[in-house]
A and B are shown apart, each in its own frame.
Chain A
Amino acid sequence: MFDFIIQGFGVALTPLNLGLAFSGALLGTLFGALPGIGPINGIAILMPLAYTLGLPAESALILLAGIYTGAEYGGRMSSILLNVPGDASAVMTTLDGYPLAKRGLAGPALGISAISSFVGASIAILGLTLFAPLLATVAVQFGPAELFTMMVFAFASMSVMMGKDPVKTALGAILGVLIGTVGVDSGTGIQRFTFDIPDLYDGIDFVVLIIGMFAISEILLMLESRLQHGKTGELPVIGRVFVTMKEILYCKGAMLRSSLIGFLIGVLPGTGASVAGAVAYTTEKRISDKDNTFGTGDMRGLSAPEAANNASAAGSFVPMLTLGIPGSGTTAVLLGALMLYNITPGPMMFSEHPKVAGGLIASLYIGNIVLLLLNLPLAGFFARVLTIPRWALVPGIVILSFVGVYQLHSDMGAIYLMLGIGILGYLLRKLNFSLATIVLGFVLGGLMEENLRRALAISGGDTNILWQSGISQGLWAASLLLILVPFLLSRLSKRKAQTA
C-alpha cells in the first residue's frame, strides 16, 4: 500500500532532487522572510523558471513544495525580530515572538519556532501519508453551513484574547470585519464601499493590509519616538543564542496540540494557515495560560501558532492530492504548476502518477529536515539582524515591502492604500488596540460572511441549514461552551469566596 512512498524516497533522494529540495527550502525561507513576498508569489515567480529549465514534473514540484514549506519557516523571522509578519500566517507569531525578542531572547525564540514548525510539519506530513484519502472524504462534508459554524467557533475562541480591554478587542475585531467588507460582494457581484475606484473592487489585499498595519505603523512610531526622545528604541540584542532543552519540553504540549489543530484545519477546503494559527493560539492560551503570560513573551504562545501554520500548510496538500481541490491559495498555484505538466491531481493521482505523488510527499519529509537543520544553527545568526541599527533596518524593510507590493500590483494605488492603512494602524496602536485582532477579524469575518451567504443561498433562505448537520451542532455546542464556561467558573469561584 505504501509502495508509492518508498518509490517516492527513491525519487526524492537523487542528487538533483535533493539539491532542489535544499534550494527550494532556502529560497522559500527568504521569500517568507521578505515582507510582501509570501509563498504564493514565490511559487508563482519560480514556476515558469522551473518549467523553462525543463525540469521533470516531480523535480519541479519538489522545488516548489520546498519553497512553500520554507516560506512558512521564513515568515516568522520578521514577526519575531521586527513585529512585522512576513506573510499572512505569521500574524499570530508576533504576539509572543516580538516580546521575547524585546527581552533579548530573539535567538531562543527563533529556535523554538523552528522546532515547533518542524514538529507541526512532521505530524501533518505523517497524517498526509497515512490518512489522506480518508480525510478527503471527511473534508468535503464541510459545506458552507459547516464552515460558517467553524468561523463562529473561531470568533468564540478569540474571546480569550479579550484580556485587559475587552471593549477594544471587540472593537478591533469588528473593525477588521468591516475592512473585509470592502470590494465586490462575493454573492451578488455588487460593489461595496469601492467609491468607483477600480483598485478597491477586489477588496483590500491581505498583504497590503498587514504591511500597512504592521510595518508602516512601526516606522511612524519610530519616527515619533525619535522626535520626542531623540532615541529610536533599539532592541537589546543578544542574550542567549540557542534554545534550551528545558524550553523545548516546556512547549511540547502546545506543539502537539497545535499540530493536530493546524493539520485538521489545513485539510478543510477554503481555510488556510492564518485561521489555523489563530485557533491554535487561542486554544493554547485557554488550556495552558494559567498565569496570564501569553502575549508578554511566553514560549508556548509562540510555539502554538508556529506548529499550527506548518501543519496546516502540509494539511492543505490532502484535498489537493486526493481530490484535485486546492486547500489554500498556495496549493491552488501548485495545482496550476502540475497542470503545466499535464498532470491533473485528483483521486487517480496516487495510482496514475505514483512517482509524482510519492516524490512530493517524500520531499516534504526531506525539506522539513533540511529546514530544521538550516534554521536551528542559524537562529543566532538571524538574531543578529537586530544589531543593524533600527533607523537603517526598519526603513530597509519598508522599502522591501513597497517593492514587494508594487511588484504584485504594478500599480501605485496599492501603495497609497498601504500608506493610508499604515496611518490608521499607527493611530490604532497609539490607542492601544491589538493589531492581531483586527487582522483576525478581517480574515475570519470575510470567510464567515461568504459561507453564511452561501449556506443561505443553498437552503433558499432557511436558517435551519446552519444547525442541521452533526458537524455544525458540535461546533455550536463547542462555541457556547467557550463563551459560557469561563463566565460560569468565575461566578462559581466568587460564590465560593463569599460562602467561605
Chain B
Amino acid sequence: MPSTKRLAAALVAPLAIATVSLLSLPVMAADRSECIAPAKPGGGYDLTCRLAANGLLETGVIDSPMMVTYMPGGIGAVAYNHVIGVRSDDPNLIVAASTGAAVNLALGKFGKFTADDVRWVGALGVDYGAVVVNADSPWQTLDELMDDLKKHPSEIPFGAGGTIGSQDWMKAALIAKSIDVSPRKLRYVSFEGGGEALAALLGNHIKVYTGDLSELQSQLSSGKIRVLAALSEERVPGAFADIPTATEQGYDVTWPIWRGYYMGKDVSDADYNTWVERLKLLSEKPEFAKIREARGLFPIQKFGPDFDQYVKAQITDFKTLAQEVGLTQ
C-alpha cells in the first residue's frame, strides 16, 4: 500500500515539524540568555519574564532574543530547587520572583533552601495591594470598615486569590493586625486567582477583596467597585491618584508586590554584575516605562546588593508575622 504510506508520511510530517520547531527553540538557544517563569504560561511570573525579555530586546540592551521557559510546580519551589541543584552557575539564566516567593521562603515552603541560596539581581516593577469593596457596600472609607472589623472581627468575609499564608492573605492579615485584631479571627476565603475573587465581590458573596491595584482599572472606571485604600507608601499617580493610602488614613499597612529576578548562587561576581547593570540600564530607558505600564506595573528602583537586602529584610518581617499568627512554630 504505497499510497497509504505516502499519505501517512504526509500526515505525520507536519505534526513532526510543528513539534520539532516548538522544541528546537531551547536547543537553538544554547548560549542565549534565558528567563525561567516558575509557573504555567500566562500568569504573573510569565509576565515578569516577558517584562525583562521584551524590555531588554526592544530597548537594545541585549541583541538576541531572550528565551522564556516555564517550570511550574510548588508555587515556585520546583524552579528554586532546580536552579540551586542543577544550574547554580549558569551565567545566562535569570528566574522570575515576586513578593509571593519571599513569603514562601519565609514560611519554609521552598524546602531546605533559604534566600541565601541564590543571588538576588533586581526588580523591574511593582504593584500594590488594595482594599476593595462592592460599590453598594455600606463602607465609604477605610475607617468605617475598620470600625466594623473591630466590633465583629469574625463576621466580615474577606477574600482574595491565594491560600491562608499566601501573599494575598498577608494583606488581609496585616489590615487586621493594624487594629490589633488577630488575623486568625478573620473570615478569609481563598479563591483560584484574583479574577474569581473579584467575581465573588461583584456578586456580593464576599464583602472585602484584598486585591492588587493594577488589575482594578476597568472595574474602577465602571463604578462597580470602591477602592477604600491603596497599600502603597505614597499615592500612586495616574488613574489611581484619588485613592488614599492606608497610611494616610492612619493605618500602618503597606504591601508592595515587586516583580524581580534571582540567579544561581555560584554565578561569578562579574556575570552577576552584568545582569545588575542590564536591569539598571533597562529601567532608565524611556521606552521601558511604556512597556512596564502596559503590564500594569509601577516603577521601583532596587538592584544588586540593595535589592538583596530588601528581599532578605522582607523575609525576616514575614517570618515574624507568620510566627505571631501561628502559621509557623
Contact = CB atoms under 8 A, between A and B. Distances in A.
Contacts of B54: 48, 51-52
B218 A347 contact: yes
A256 interface: no
Contact of B73 (A196, A202, A381): A202
A262 interface: no
A140 B203 contact: yes
Given A144-B189, A460-B154, A326 B12 contact: no
A333 B42 contact: yes
Nearest to A397: B15
Contacts of B72: 202, 205, 408-409
Contacts of B41: 40-41, 43-45, 333
Interface string A464-496: 000000000000000000000000000000000
A342 B222 contact: no
Given A342-B293, A349-B218, A413-B73, A403 B205 contact: no
Given A40-B41, A413-B73, A189 B163 contact: yes
Interface string B131-162: 00000000000000000000000110101000
Contact of B78 (A34, A140, A413): A413
Interface residues on B, range: 35 or more
A345 B215 CA distance: 10
B294 A269 contact: no
Interface string B65-99: 10011111111011001100000000000000000
Contacts of B193: 326, 332
Contact of A196 (B8, B75, B111, B295): B111
A75 B192 CA distance: 25
Contact of B12 (A37, A200, A388): A388
A187 interface: yes
A348 interface: yes
A341 B196 CA distance: 23
A253 interface: no
Interface string B90-114: 0000000000000000000101000
Contact of A186 (B4, B78, B163, B293): B163
Q: Which of B14, B163, B199, B296 has the most CB of A within 10 A?
A: B199
A187 B163 contact: yes
A189 B164 CA distance: 6
Interface in A306-335: 319, 323-326, 329, 332-333, 335
Interface stretch (B18-26, B122-130, B228-236, B268-276): B18-26
A407 B22 CA distance: 9
Given A30-B15, A454-B191, 4 more contacts: A189-B164, A189-B169, A381-B11, A409-B73
